Amino acid sequence: MLTNFFIPSSKSPSQSQVEGWLLSPPQEFKGCDISPDASFVAYWTDTRISLYTSQSLSTREAQVLFPVAWRDLEGRNCIWKTVVVTSKYLVASTTGGSFNVSGRKTRIKLLTNSSSKCFIFELESGNSVDVTLDHWCRLTLPLPEIHILAISVDRKTLSCVLRGKEDVRHPGSLLTSSINGLISYAKRPCVHSSTWKPWQLTNTR
């Protein structure tokens, strides 16, 4: 359990201490999510998702922890935006982003006809032993920006707020779907030509 990251040295709240470790490789992480059972901790940058488990504690060197698995984002036209992890799935979304090219910061603009990309990683056997991020599927959602992403406590349902623009003032839509339905949809042949969609959309206006 990754609750071992935080070890109180005393039962007295006034005397308790927190023990911490550095993460390797050192990067400018933009976000972090912890599974409800504390078995997984996911950190991410614009281009990489790093997954830590209790195995990271057993393989640490000095005060440094190493990820047990990671996934780099292929291509340079988008970045990781949101990551949510449970004991069974890691779900991530992408968005347009910024990159430093020859010392100049370049903004990748979202096209008005672009769509959100959602990645669902199936964690091995739902436990932290020999976990990988090698089993995954990708699907396209109907609006270009995922603003908020969440998974139900029972790990069966995914919900997210989709927007036509990144501006939070812009009206969006609430998407809900079973995760199994999304995986089945993503793995169907000729998925993009299918008229059946596993999700429900509700306008938030």
Q: Along the 205 residues of the chain, how does pLDDT read in single tens digits?
A: 333 343 444 455 566 666 677 887 778 889 999 999 888 999 999 999 999 988 887 766 667 888 999 999 876 678 899 999 998 999 999 887 544 433 334 444 443 345 668 999 999 654 555 788 999 999 888 777 787 899 998 999 999 988 876 556 667 889 999 999 999 988 887 655 557 788 898 886 6
Tokens of 16: 């308790």
Quick: pLDDT tens for 116-132: 689 999 996 545 557 88
Query: Taking the model in full, what pTM does it have?
Result: 0.77
Pick the CATH number of 21-203 from 1.20.120.1760, 2.130.10.10, 3.40.50.2300, 3.40.50.1820: 2.130.10.10
Tokens of 21: 């470790």
Domain ranges for the chain: 21-203
Residues near 37 by beta carbon (within 8 Å), at least 6 away in sequence:
1, 87
CA nearest neighbour of 158 among 141, 170, 145, 144? 141
3-class secondary-structure state, position 115 = coil
